[in-house]
Amino acid sequence: MIQNTLERGIRAARVGLLVNAVLAVVKVLSGIIGHSYALIADGIESTTDVFSSAIVWSGLAVAGRSPDEDFPFGYGKAEPLTAAVVSVMMLGAAIGIAVQAGREILVPHHLPAPFTLAVLAGVVVLKEMLFRRVDAVGEDVGSLAVRADARHHRSDAITSAAAFVGISVALIGGRGWEPADDYAALVSSLVIAISGVRLLRPAIGDLLDRAPDSDMRREVIAAVERLEGVRATEKLRIRRVGLGYFADLHVQADPHVSLYDAHVLSGHAKHAILTQVPSVIDVTIHMEPFESR
């Protein structure tokens, strides 16, 4: 199951990489020919999208590797690490675009060409469609990296929309309104930065083994405490590893049961969790004697 979800995420990253590569070339060339820095900035953002999709692709491929002697817990951390790298790339792109846009505001230049509006309109529609497709895959497979890639597509659509507005204002206003295009690039940089921060926070959380929501904890405890012979549970710890979760749980049973019976009960507890909470991919059960308090 995990392998299938990884393959879906990789396919989504491949599609995004191809689309972004084409759009980056189209937008940069259109921006240069059409005298629009907002469009050039948008093309630069699409270039970072190309690299981010490639990173997501590579990260998911690494995350899908089986555990080995060197990495007994597997390579799942590559998934949130990939999301963090993509987020940092977005922040870097935002800073670069903002600095250059500020310079362009101070330098007189030509009005943007009207044809750049048609280019941007097509980009907005295409990138929004791509965002919806990739985000749905990321939501379905539970991948932060894929969702980070999707958010990159959404930020690209927003920056293109901002560029469309800026160029429209410049063309309608005429001479003296040329900087409207550059102010649109500044707005774009802010949108990209906000998206980058929003994506970076959950990625860091997963890298630091942040606990999942309380609903999953309740599901794990309920799956075990329904078993005959289980007297209590405690010290549940769950951490995300790639597209799944590892759980660690102390289970208390009658102190007079044999070691063999306690071992069998721990096996039942593990099976119950893995079957009733599919997002959990591995469980460690610690058996303890029940002590009434």
* Same domain assignment for residues 233 and 163: no
* Same domain assignment for residues 203 and 226: no
Euclidean distance between CA atoms 224 and 285, whole angstroms: 10
Distances (CA, A) of 17 to 46, 101, 126: 10, 26, 14
Contacts of 181 (CB under 8 A, 6+ apart): 36, 37, 38, 104, 112, 163, 166, 167, 170
pLDDT of residue 76: 79
pLDDT of residue 195: 78
Contacts of 171 (CB under 8 A, 6+ apart): 111, 112, 114, 117
In total, how many domains does the chain have?
2
* Same domain assignment for residues 18 and 74: yes
Q: What is the pLDDT of residues 178-235, one digit of tens each?
A: 677 778 778 878 877 887 888 788 888 888 888 887 888 999 999 999 998 889 889 9
> What is the model's pTM?
0.68
Residue for token digits 């894929």?
146
* Same domain assignment for residues 79 and 221: no
pLDDT of residue 221: 92
* Same domain assignment for residues 39 and 180: yes
CATH number of the domain where residue 249 is located: 3.30.70.1350
Q: Tell me the torsion sign for CA atoms 27, 111, 194, 44.
A: positive
Q: Are 242 and 63 in contact (CB under 8 A)?
A: yes
* Same domain assignment for residues 138 and 277: no
Q: What is the pLDDT of residues 187-197, one digit of tens each?
A: 878 877 887 88
* Same domain assignment for residues 192 and 61: yes
CA dihedral 82, 83, 88, 91 (to 10 degrees): 150
* Same domain assignment for residues 174 and 32: yes
Domain edge (last residue) among 192, 207, 222: 207
pLDDT of residue 273: 93
Euclidean distance between CA atoms 120 and 214, whole angstroms: 43
Domain edge (last residue) among 175, 207, 239: 207
pLDDT of residue 141: 67
Question: Six-digit token pair at 269?
Answer: 């507890």
CATH number of the domain where residue 129 is located: 1.20.1510.10
Domain edge (last residue) among 160, 186, 207: 207
* Same domain assignment for residues 187 and 283: no
What is the CA 6 to chain-centroid distance, rounded? 13
pLDDT of residue 293: 60
Residues of the chain with pLDDT under 70: 1-10, 13, 37-38, 45, 108-110, 141-142, 144, 178, 292-293
Pairing of strands 230-241, 280-289: unpaired
Residue for token digits 């951390």?
77
Contacts of 265 (CB under 8 A, 6+ apart): 227, 229, 230, 251, 253, 257, 287
* Strand-pair partners of 286: 250
* Same domain assignment for residues 158 and 284: no
Euclidean distance between CA atoms 39 and 92, whole angstroms: 18
Range of the structural domain that residue 226 is part of: 214-289
pLDDT of residue 5: 60
* Same domain assignment for residues 125 and 265: no
* Same domain assignment for residues 183 and 65: yes
Euclidean distance between CA atoms 137 and 140, whole angstroms: 5
Euclidean distance between CA atoms 18 and 11, whole angstroms: 11
Contacts of 282 (CB under 8 A, 6+ apart): 244, 246, 247
